[in-house]
Chain A
Amino acid sequence: MEALNNLMYGFSIALDPINLMYVFIGVFAGTIIGMLPGLGPMSALALMIPITFNLNPATGLILMAGVYYGAIFGGSTSSILLNAPGVAGTVATSFDGYPMAQKGMAGKALAIAAYASFVGGTISIIGLMFIAPLLSKVAVSFGPAEYFALMVLGLTAVVSLSDKSLVKGLIAAIVGMMISIVGMDLQTGTERYTFGSIEMLDGINFLVVALGIFALAEVFYMLLRGGKKVQKRNEIGSLKLSMSEVKEMAAPVARSSVLGFFTGVLPGAGATIGSFLGYSMEKRLAKDGDTFGKGNIKGVAAPESANNAACGGSFVPLLTLGVPGSGTTAVLLGALLVMGVTPGPMMIEQRPDVFWGVIASMYVGNIFLLVLNLPLIPYIARILDAPRALLLSLILIFCMVGVYGLNFSSFDLVLLLVFGLIGLVMRLNGFPAAPLILGLILGALMEESMRRALQISGGDWSIFIDKPISLVLLLIALLSLGLPVVKKMIQKSRSA
């Protein structure tokens, strides 16, 4: 009951006309920024700091939170239509969203993304409301050893993500990890594989790789082989979902939302890892798992609900611990400090208006997003009707602008081209791209947490099995690797 009272209090703040207006501005700006490939919510948020100087803290955070989850919401659009992820968290959406669009079901894919995002967002708000303080305990229970185990579990997904040849999938994952460790090593300050360039000291930006491997490689591929004509043109903008499809997606959306939310709660994991975990979990659980990657509706619904839920979850460590889990939440933290609100264990008591106001505003914002996006889908989907040559040229421009906007670095543009060509070679020869991205996301984190854990234990490897959470996660990882083998053996013995 107390939570409901608090929520009512929150709504009294969120429904204030001025706050309502800022929610709207926030989610609207967020959607647009999210749709542009590459350009993430971080720079947009940084530019809003001066605006928030003059706002009351609750209003300021309502605006900035709106931009953040709005961007994750809108990021799926360019993933689905152009294979060019708008924000890092929507890379996994392109695995099945883009094939759906190529089959002429762009509108349907976008609609699924919107509904799944809405559900994921809403579930995460409910979680935030009822168990945020409790969850901060979950967040702190994850130390280096636990993170390592989580990353190992995440990496087992390589097996399910490499469809035809396991060897090629593993090679892709290794290359992804190799890319991820470029730059200065946090544990020692040593440069690795930077070739002496200061531009590489911070490593290679995730979105440069993702846009290269997915969007640029796709453009090259279409140029080389001639793009397949989008079929069933009349259905392109149709949003219709059948009852059986809704039923089919209900469980995956619910599961992925919960999974995504918990991933978001862990600082340092976040929306990108959440969406990959959601995607690979559903691929493994689905009876039609082998159609994932070819335009399966669950392959769109799972990562989209997971990334939006993770976005909500990331507010748990931000508000209750004062710990930003990502670059974007670091900007939010900075803005809150500037406004004189110090997030931390006392925040709910000290500034209930900010805490509950923002949570309530997220309900409102999610509804705004759905209402704003659904009617636009038929029009946005028509982008694919543009003449092929013009469309390809525009995709290239969008990718380059997005990459340039990350760091204003020409060097990044050259890297984009390199990864585009690597992506093309991979595509032409049956190397899956998803494991590479997975290795890229998890590789450096895995190494870092492993070495941190071992340094704490003084080089004693038993730290990974002494800690219960770590042990359980590692066992699940082992199980998920072993299960397919066992399944196959059973099938063989049956057929024999």
Chain B
Amino acid sequence: MLRLNINQLLAVILFVSSLGYLWMAFQIPVFPIPRPVDSDAFPKMLGLCLLILSVFLFLEKVPANVAEDKTSKEADVADDLPQTGIMNPKMQVLGASVGVLAYAFLIKPLGFLAASIILGVGLAYWFGYRNHVVNFVTVGSIVLSLYLLLSKVLGIYLPQGIIPF
């Protein structure tokens, strides 16, 4: 059975993306005044390079040390973290990603202070920090001093949101 290793899988993804990139490069309009090298030339070249390199990547042998890395990864994880529930490493990364996204959409309605504190405390909890008082005090004071520095000392305008301060 044909089984792709991770390099080959990525090579396929890159190959397809570079085709998409090239297609877009061919959509770039021609500049009405003739140019020796127009806007589309460089993107076409880049797309072509990526296309060729992705083929090379597909054919590249997986070096032995990647396999080595994998065993050390398992050892690391087993050492540090329980694998179940939210402490599952994948859930951790997912949680952090959702956190960044949430921050992007909440910073304006909630304001800088509230959004930063909620997210900072929440993420630390998600990552497994259980001393709630220390968590809140540390994150709170760091965010507050950042806010004071940026908004009061430097005069940078930050959204105030629900805490009008």
Interfacial residues, chain A to chain B (CB-CB below 8 A) = 32-33, 36, 39, 43-44, 47, 164-165, 167-168, 170-171, 174-175, 177-178, 181, 185, 187-188, 190, 192-193, 216, 219-220, 223-228, 387-390, 392-394, 396-397, 400-401, 404-405, 408, 410-411, 413-414, 416-417, 420-421, 424-425, 429-430, 447, 450-451, 454-455, 457-459
Residues of B within 8 A of A167 (CB): 53, 56-57, 60
Residue of A167, A397, A413 with highest tally of chain B CB at under 10 A: A397
CB pair B139–A397 under 8 Å, yes or no, is: yes
Complex CA–CA separation, A402 to B158 (angstroms): 12
Taking the closest CB of chain B, its distance from the CB of A404, in whole angstroms, is: 6
The reply to whether A393 and B127 form a contact with Cβ atoms under 8 Å apart is yes
- Cβ of B63 to closest chain A Cβ, rounded Å: 7
Write out the residue numbers on chain B whose beta carbons fall within 8 Å of the beta carbon of A168.
Answer: 57
- Of chain A, the residue at the smallest CB distance from B123 is A393
CB B163 to nearest CB in A, in angstroms, measures: 16
Determine if B155 is an interface residue (Cβ-Cβ < 8 Å). yes
B10 within 8 A of A: yes
A451 → B minimal CB distance (Å): 5
Residue of B nearest to A178 (CB): B46
Measured CB to CB, the closest approach of chain B to A267, in angstroms, equals: 22
* B105 neighbours in A (Cβ, 8 Å): 410
Whether B36 pairs with A387 at a CB distance below 8 angstroms is no
B104 with A413: CB separation less than 8 A: yes
Q: How far is the CB of A430 from chain B (nearest CB, A)?
A: 6
**With A171-B50, A187-B39 in contact, is A390–B10 under 8 Å at CB?**
no
**Cross-chain contact of A405 among B10, B39, B156 (Cβ < 8 A):** B156
B2 within 8 A of A: no
Q: Which of A32, A178, A220, A447 contacts B149 (CB 8 A)?
A: A32
Interface residues of B (CB under 8 A from A): 6-7, 10, 14, 21, 24, 28-29, 31, 35-39, 42-43, 46, 49-50, 53-54, 56-57, 60, 63, 65-66, 73, 76-77, 79-81, 89-90, 92-93, 96-97, 99-101, 103-105, 107-108, 112, 116, 119-121, 123-125, 127-129, 131, 134-135, 138-139, 142-143, 146, 149-150, 154-158
Which of B42, B77, B90, B104 is close to A414, meaning CB atoms less than 8 Å apart?
B104
B123 / chain A contacts, CB cutoff of 8 Å: 392-393, 396-397
**How far is A23 from B156 in the complex, measured between Cα atoms in Å?**
22
Q: Is the CB of B42 within 8 A of A447?
A: yes
With the chains together, A404 CA to B121 CA distance in Å? 19
Compute how far the CA of A43 lies from the CA of B158 in the bound complex, rounded to whole angstroms: 13
Q: Are A387 and B129 in contact (CB under 8 A)?
A: yes
8 Å CB contact of A192 from B36, B43, B63: B43
Question: With A and B bound together, what is the CA distance between A227 and B145 in angstroms?
Answer: 28
Cα(A387)–Cα(B142), bound, Å: 15
CA distance A411 to B56 in the complex (A): 35
Most buried by B among A44, A390, A417, A458: A390
Smallest CB-CB separation from A399: which chain B residue? B100
Q: Which chain B residues lie closer than 8 Å to A185 at the CB level?
A: 39
CB distance from B146 to the nearest CB of A (A): 6
Q: Show 26 A/B contacts (Cβ-Cβ < 8 Å), sorted by A.
A: A44-B154, A165-B60, A167-B53, A167-B56, A171-B57, A174-B46, A175-B50, A178-B46, A187-B35, A190-B29, A192-B43, A219-B96, A220-B93, A220-B97, A223-B89, A225-B73, A226-B79, A389-B128, A390-B127, A396-B96, A400-B116, A401-B112, A408-B158, A410-B108, A411-B104, A421-B97
